[in-house]
């Protein structure tokens, strides 16, 4: 039976007053604008904090989501230009000092939103957390690199990351009014959101705004100015717009830029490894994977991990993995490690004798995309940071796809993503364990729970296996680490990854 909604008290923020709803004992505020619409004269510029409004704004419905270059995959609200909005769930705005968790949605920087039903924050709020979800610019609007064609400050190639930082600034200014502690903020995300979380850590403008980070299955790739500039040149050629004519570019309907995405994907070698990614440059001077080795985020507690069978989802949704962008990226990582593909195949066969060659191939792709960069981040953070480092390996198995990519979104307690592909199964115990561990980490900097001590990641590479029966593993990737040591211990920016 659906709970009836009652109005919340009006909440005062820096930009104006809001009124949300109380549903099932949780106060929720939806569609709160945190920045001005990033279109018209503000298109391809850094976000501008929302100007003040008069009266009390109703915050009972999700706002428009940002244009989806990769397609609106989760049935969220319609796309629109006034899309930089966020959502808050809190147990009680009159409370003080609750831990704050800000969710960065997945979608490979081209799709997704803060309005997915899977990311509803009700269960976190009931556990004593102030939970935020948000939208950020995606695809061309967020990552088209235009500075070399239109001057500094226009299209720096990481506006989606700047939007997340703007959300954190909103939290710093306003979250006390929702019961949250601005000095205890955790940014967390999965897949593209995990990558975006680490990119925020690697961005100097985020310093002091977050205190903990949870990085779930981040595909930690970055664009260089030269490859990003090539993407922009193709876009301008397709639109017949000359460099410098920013007014004409700003008048192009966003749907037209969305429509170019398929053509850009077909161009050989354009974008490394994807068309739209955060760009290494003035705002993000280091590759996100190298951040801890460059002294960034060392005061931020880090919880990082991946799913054991990442490629299970992609194998079900793509025509084939061999020759795909996933395969191409994996080969680049293997080449950077200074070993051959055959050597890696042989090494994985020795380490995982229970898998056939197809499963070994999928495991390598998943590890090169997600596990290897995550291990590098954990290694750097554990070695150099004053803050805590923890690592996990998600091993809860779905009936059809194993422990595949995105299943760890079960942490929200709202069901399994892609359940039709993965096969539904009882996951409540694992989801509850994860949510309790995530909440504990956000509150205290450690995910340890009674009966489930979670040691810090150190010389023995202690890793928590997340499943029906969580277990601590010691150096679970020992043989793979030895095989791929160079790429785990070397600077990715110099390696060209």
> Angle of helix 225-239 relative to helix 254-266, nearest 10 degrees?
120
The pTM assigned to this predicted structure is 0.97
Torsion of CA 376, 341, 312, 223, to 10 degrees: 50
Give, as one character, the DSSP assignment of residue 404: B
pLDDT per residue over 400-443, tens digit each? 899 999 999 999 999 988 887 777 788 999 999 999 999 999 99
What is the pLDDT, as a whole number, of residue 318?
A: 63
Which residue has 């003080």 as its token pair? 96
Catalytic residue among 15, 46, 191, 465: 191
Is 191 among the catalytic positions?
A: yes
Is 405 among the catalytic positions?
A: yes
Catalytic residue among 405, 427, 462, 465: 405
What is the pLDDT, as a whole number, of residue 420?
A: 77
Give the integer Cα–Cα distance in Å for 445 and 94. Answer: 24
Is 310 among the catalytic positions?
A: yes
CATH code of the region 6-220+277-495? 3.40.50.1820
Give the integer Cα–Cα distance in Å for 373 and 488. Answer: 7
Catalytic residue among 79, 310, 379, 395: 310
Domains of the chain by residue range: 6-220+277-495
Q: Residue 299 pLDDT more than 50?
A: yes
Give the integer Cα–Cα distance in Å for 364 and 146. Answer: 35
Give, as one character, the DSSP assignment of residue 402: B
Give, as one character, the DSSP assignment of residue 223: B
pLDDT per residue over 97-125, tens digit each? 999 999 999 999 999 999 999 999 999 99
What single string gives the DSSP state of each residue in 351-387? H-TTS-HHHHHHHHHHIIIIIHHHHHHHHHHHHH-SS
What is the pLDDT, as a whole number, of residue 75?
A: 61
Q: Which helix (H) or strand (E) holds 216?
A: strand 212-216
pLDDT band at 157 (very low <50, low <70, confident <90, very high): very high
Give the integer Cα–Cα distance in Å for 407 and 187. Answer: 19
Segment 70-78 mean pLDDT: 71
pLDDT band at 1 (very low <50, low <70, confident <90, very high): very low
Give the integer Cα–Cα distance in Å for 473 and 464. Answer: 6
**Window from 72-76, 256-260, 426-430 with minimum mean pLDDT:** 72-76
Which residue has 């690199």 as its token pair? 145
């Amino acid at each position: 039976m659906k709970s009836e909604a009652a109005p919340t008290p009006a909440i005062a923020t820096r930009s104006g007053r809001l009124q949300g709803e109380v549903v099932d004992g949780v106060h929720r505020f939806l569609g709160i604008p945190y920045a001005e619409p990033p279109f018209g004269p503000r298109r391809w510029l850094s976000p501008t904090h929302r100007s003040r409004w008069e009266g009390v704004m109703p915050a009972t419905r999700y706002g428009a989501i940002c244009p989806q270059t990769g397609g609106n995959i989760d049935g969220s609200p319609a796309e629109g230009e006034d899309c930089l909005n966020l959502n808050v769930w809190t147990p009680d705005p009159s409370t003080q000092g609750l831990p704050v968790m800000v969710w960065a949605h997945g979608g490979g920087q081209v799709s997704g939103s803060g309005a997915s039903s899977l990311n509803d924050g009700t269960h976190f709020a009931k556990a004593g957390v102030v939970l935020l979800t948000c939208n950020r610019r995606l695809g061309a609007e967020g990552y088209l690199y235009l500075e070399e064609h239109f001057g500094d400050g226009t299209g720096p190639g990481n506006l989606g990351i700047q939007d997340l930082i703007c959300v954190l600034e909103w939290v710093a200014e306003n979250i006390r009014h929702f019961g949250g502690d601005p000095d205890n903020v955790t940014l967390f995300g999965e897949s593209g959101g995990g990558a975006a979380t680490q990119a925020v850590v690697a961005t100097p403008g985020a310093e002091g705004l977050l205190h903990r980070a949870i990085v779930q299955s981040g595909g930690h790739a970055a664009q260089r100015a030269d490859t990003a500039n090539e993407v922009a040149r193709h876009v301008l050629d397709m639109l017949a717009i000359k460099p410098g004519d920013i007014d004409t570019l700003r008048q192009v309907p966003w749907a037209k830029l969305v429509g170019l995405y398929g053509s850009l994907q077909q161009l050989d070698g354009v974008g490394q490894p994807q068309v739209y990614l955060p760009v290494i440059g003035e705002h993000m001077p280091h590759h996100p994977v190298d951040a801890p080795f460059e002294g960034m985020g060392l005061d931020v507690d880090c919880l990082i991990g991946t799913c054991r069978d990442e490629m299970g989802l992609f194998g079900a949704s793509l025509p084939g993995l061999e020759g795909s962008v996933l395969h191409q990226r994996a080969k680049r990582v293997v080449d950077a490690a200074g070993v051959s593909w055959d050597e890696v195949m042989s090494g994985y066969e020795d380490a995982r004798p229970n898998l056939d060659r197809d499963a070994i191939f999928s495991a390598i792709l998943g590890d090169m995309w997600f596990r290897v960069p995550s291990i590098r981040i954990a290694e750097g953070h554990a070695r150099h940071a004053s803050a805590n480092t923890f690592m996990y390996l998600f091993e809860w198995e779905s009936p059809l796809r194993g422990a595949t990519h995105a299943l760890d979104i079960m942490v929200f307690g709202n069901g399994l993503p892609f359940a039709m592909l993965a096969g539904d199964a009882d996951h409540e115990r694992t989801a509850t364990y994860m949510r309790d561990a995530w909440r504990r980490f956000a509150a205290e900097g450690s995910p340890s729970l009674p009966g489930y001590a979670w040691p810090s990641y150190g010389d023995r590479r202690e890793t928590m296996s997340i499943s029906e029966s969580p277990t601590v593993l010691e150096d679970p990737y020992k043989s793979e680490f030895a095989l791929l040591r160079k790429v785990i211990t070397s600077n990715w920016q110099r390696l060209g990854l």
